């Protein structure tokens, strides 16, 4: 089991290494599946079902809202307020519905189509409750937010549409001959188109000059330094320019080692 855990960790970390993308990870994934099956893990049921736990999600609080003298936690802040924990709480709500969907898909009994539609409504309700600061309305306004917040928005939106696609894709074939499943066909196709759009925009913004490219801040700093050297010298801002030079040099060293 320890060997399997190490191999899974190595595979996960490999996704962050550009050289290991694609075919380079296929042998590792195949080995993980074979070892897991030899251990009999494919016959094990889910360790904890949705209804087996009563632990509540963390409250939407800042660190400054809590101190050692408290005997009980303060009430949660509204989701409309930008709190760092908000992203994880929203993701937890989406994953809560996702667990029910996975349990339904893996059930040995075929679920009625009405159950699928109810799961879709529950998922849409959770999605509609995402606060404005975590909602990806369009990519045109993405540059108004810091990159980490853009990535959080993209991850939540991508997760939602992936779950919608998984929930409805098994009815695509039936939708060709039975209009009863037209809703599933439309939902699956719409979510797939959104995912393709996200893929295109992430690729575009990750290129040189893009908002999600690691060199983005360095490019802005270099452009600023180029246009303001003479003005800074006249205005006695040599110290500030020196700090900018140090920052650019440190950035160059970091990216030279990638």
Q: Mind listing the pLDDT tens digit for each residue in 136-184?
A: 887 777 777 888 888 889 899 999 999 999 999 989 888 888 899 999 9
Residue 185 CB partners (closer than 8 Å, separation 6+): 168, 171, 172, 175
Do 157 and 227 sit in the same domain of this protein? no
Taking the chain (258 residues) in runs of 10, the rounded mean pLDDT of each run is 81 59 72 87 67 79 86 86 87 91 86 94 95 85 79 91 93 89 92 88 76 55 52 53 56 51
In this structure, is residue 184 part of a structural domain? yes
Query: Which residues span the domain enclosing 27?
Result: 1-44
Residue 95 CB partners (closer than 8 Å, separation 6+): 159
Do 200 and 225 sit in the same domain of this protein? no
Its pTM stands at 0.68
Do 205 and 242 sit in the same domain of this protein? no
Do 143 and 36 sit in the same domain of this protein? no
Tokens of 97: 């519905």
Do 197 and 163 sit in the same domain of this protein? yes
Query: What angle (nearest 5°) sits at the alpha carbon of residue 212, between those of residues 209 and 216?
Result: 40
Which of residues 178, 195, 213 is at a domain's end? 213
**Can you give the pLDDT at residue 254?**
47
Q: How many domains does the chain have?
A: 3
């Amino acid at each position: 089991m320890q060997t399997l855990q190490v191999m899974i960790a190595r595979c996960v970390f490999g996704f962050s290494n550009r050289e290991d993308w694609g075919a380079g990870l296929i042998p590792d994934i195949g080995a993980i599946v074979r070892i897991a099956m030899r251990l009999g893990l494919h016959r094990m049921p889910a360790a904890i079902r949705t209804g087996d736990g009563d632990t509540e999600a963390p409250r939407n609080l800042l660190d400054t809202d809590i101190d050692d003298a408290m005997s009980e936690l303060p009430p949660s802040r509204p989701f409309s307020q930008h709190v760092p924990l908000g992203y994880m709480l929203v993701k937890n709500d989406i994953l809560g519905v996702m667990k029910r969907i996975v349990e339904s898909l893996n059930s040995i009994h075929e679920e009625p189509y009405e159950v699928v539609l109810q799961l879709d409504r529950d998922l849409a309700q959770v999605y509609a409750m995402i606060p404005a600061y975590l909602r990806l309305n369009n990519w045109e306004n993405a540059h108004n937010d810091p990159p980490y917040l853009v990535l959080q928005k993209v991850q939540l939106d991508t997760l939602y549409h992936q779950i919608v696609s998984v929930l409805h894709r098994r009815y695509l074939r039936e939708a060709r001959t039975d209009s009863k499943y037209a809703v599933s066909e439309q939902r699956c196709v719409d979510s797939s188109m959104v995912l393709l759009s996200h893929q295109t925009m992430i690729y575009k913004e990750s290129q040189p000059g893009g908002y999600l490219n690691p060199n983005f801040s360095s490019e802005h700093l270099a452009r600023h330094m180029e246009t303001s050297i003479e003005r800074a010298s006249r205005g006695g801002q040599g110290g500030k320019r020196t700090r900018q030079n140090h920052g650019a040099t440190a950035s160059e060293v970091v990216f030279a080692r990638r």
